[in-house]
Amino acid sequence: MIVSDIRNKYKDIFKSYDNPSLEEHIQKIIELDVYLPYSSTFFCITNTQDLSFEYVSKNMNACLGLDKDILLTRGMRYFWSRMHPDDVEQWLQALNELMVFTLKHIAVKERNAMSYTWNYRIKNTGEEYVNIIQNTTPLEFDASGKPIIGLAHYTVLDPKIKLQVCASAKKLNDKNEYETVYFNNFSQKLLSEGISNRERDIIRLLVLNYSSKAIAEKLNISSNTVDTHRRNILKKLNISSTGELIGLLKMNNLII
Q: How would you write the chain as a 3-class SS string?
A: CCHHHHHHHHHHHHHCCCCCCHHHHHHHHHHHHCCCCCCCEEEEEEECCCCEEEEECCHHHHHHCCCHHHHHHHHHHHHHHCECHHHHHHHHHHHHHHHHHHHHHCCHHHHHHEEEEEEEEEECCCCCEEEEEEEEEEEEECCCCCEEEEEEEEEEECCCCCCCCEEEEEEECCCCCEEEEEEEECCCCCCCCCCCHHHHHHHHHHHCCCCHHHHHHHHCCCHHHHHHHHHHHHHHHCCCCHHHHHHHHHHCCCCC
pLDDT, averaged across the chain? 82
| Confidence at residue 250, expressed as pLDDT on a 0 to 100 scale | 61
Question: Mean pLDDT, to the nearest integer, of 185-190?
Answer: 67
Share of the chain above pLDDT 90, in %: 35
**pLDDT tens digits, 22-81:** 567 677 777 888 787 888 899 999 998 889 998 999 899 999 999 999 999 999 999 999
The closest of 115, 254, 112, 256 to 197, measured between CA atoms, is 256
| pTM exceeding 0.85 | no
- Lowest average pLDDT, out of 14-28, 59-73, 79-93, 204-218, goes to 14-28
Q: Could you give the domains of the chain?
A: 45-175 (3.30.450.20), 188-256 (1.10.10.10)
